Chain A
Amino acid sequence: MTETSQSLFQLLFWILVFPGFLFSAGLGLIVSWIVRKVSALVQWRVGPPFLQPFYDVIKLMGKETLIPQDAQRIVFLGAPLVGLAAVLLLSTMLWRITIDQTTFVGDIIVAIYLMTLPSLALILGSSASASPHAAVGTGREMKLVMGYELPLVLAFIVVIIKSGGQLSLAAIAQQNPALSISGMLAFLVALLCIQAKLGFVPFDMAEAETELGSGVLMEYSGALLAVWKVTQAMMLVALPLFLVMVFLGGLNADFLSGLATPVGTLPVGVIVLLVFLVTGLLARFCKYIDILFLLSLIAACILAGLGKYVLIVVLIILIKNTNPRVRIDQAMKFFWFYCGIALAVAIILALVGNTYGIGWL
């Protein structure tokens, strides 16, 4: 095998298997189960079984794919693939930076572009579907994107200022900007922007089940809908990971070796696996044991060094479950007016702190 074909093979492995498609999609679907399960527990319900997101995707792959008569076919069919490709590149890039520091100058800017692409693909796809419900959803999604992109980029600018003008993610992930006043302000705003990017309550007005059917996704069915579901699940991995890298100092590079640390005679990974199997089997017979399963899954993530990621996901779930949906004008006002002012203050603080060398500003 020549060198080029070997490196091509390696590249395909990265994109399709390990940090890319299989790994991110699998992890994303598991995290989307956690989101649904915790929401169910908050509402005092039992919630779906562990493999439910996988069942949903498999089922959608087997269903008939309908294309509306008046739809713009090429855009309608192509948009989900564009969205999936963007989030695939984003998550491959972020995991590669985490695992072996593969980085280049300006990758934070590339990541910001890749984060916007799925929303743009959603806007294109739903406006190509020729459905009035989807059109209303598209309008809301467009306004929402315009609302949150400005504060999100401003929040990253705060971090770039604090890191002394660094534009590579590996260098930014070396420090911990959230431990300062300006960094904390920027982190909180970015967390709310991520909430809007994921389309979760209180910023789910583009999908708005109760008034728009399912808004932007209204006309998608079968395999195309499955692609959107996988895209959303992978966003659930990539976006919190990006926040961790920018604001919280990144994940531990050897996050998988954390599972090999021995406790007594057995490694942590084996103990967690045993708890998984036992609780997973018992959960079929006993009603409340799957809460233990959920807790052991979260414990495993924390032990494996994914604690910061779990923290952000927990914050997102809490915000999702304790807020009603806001109107689109309220969301715009919130992002531009309140978040804008908070970030203007944060940028001034960061500049002052940088000039006079005061770290905690």
Chain B
Amino acid sequence: MSWKIWSLKKSPWVFHVNTGACNNCDIEIVNLLTPKFDVERFGIKLVGSPRHADALLVTGVVTAQAAPRLREIYRQTSKPCVVFCIGACACHTGIFRGGYHVVGPVDKIIKEIDPNAIIAYVPGCPPKPEAMISGVVKALSTL
């Protein structure tokens, strides 16, 4: 295992992207930072800029308006990085499948610009914070 991957697992900084979610997944993501779950124990930090991020936490079906932004943010993220689809909508567009405004799911949009992107899925409506931590751990251990 190279030192780059080793250190990436020790301090994954995450950036939160909302591509048209109902805010429920977002609240659960913010829950991760509270004293009860405190992901800073594992070196996970919420950062404000995609340039600093190692993982993108994407919530929501990708709407027509949000798709170009999601592509732009993925290009702005410095590689290696992992994309997490948080929640049923981000994984497979959920109950909004076939809606006139839906162009997603997330993996389709990301793979259009980078076919080799590392994408992890955390299903649930919303997923529990425990599920997200477990998803992050599993995704990082496959690197």
Contact = CB atoms under 8 A, between A and B. Distances in A.
Nearest to A224: B51
Given A45-B40, A49-B43, A218 B10 contact: no
A49 B76 CA distance: 29
A40 to B, nearest CB: 6
A58 B43 contact: no
Interface residues of B, number: 23
A58 B48 contact: no
A56 B35 contact: no
A220 B10 contact: no
Interface string B29-67: 000000100101101000111011010000000000000
Contacts of B49: 133, 213-214, 217-219
Contacts of A63: 4, 54, 78-80
A59 interface: yes
A207 B78 CA distance: 20
Interface residues of A, number: 33
Nearest to A219: B51
B56 to A, nearest CB: 14
A26 to B, nearest CB: 17
A44 interface: yes
A70 interface: no
B7 interface: yes
Interface of B: 2-4, 7-8, 10-11, 13, 35, 38, 40-41, 43, 47-49, 51-52, 54, 76, 78-80
Interface of A: 36, 40, 43-49, 51-52, 55-56, 58-59, 62-66, 133, 209-210, 212-214, 217-222, 225
Given A44-B35, A62-B3, A219-B49, 19 more contacts: A40-B38, A40-B40, A43-B35, A45-B38, A47-B38, A48-B40, A48-B41, A55-B7, A58-B7, A59-B4, A63-B4, A63-B54, A212-B48, A213-B48, A214-B48, A214-B49, A221-B52, A221-B78, A222-B78
8 contacts: A43-B35, A47-B38, A47-B40, A51-B10, A55-B7, A62-B7, A64-B78, A219-B51
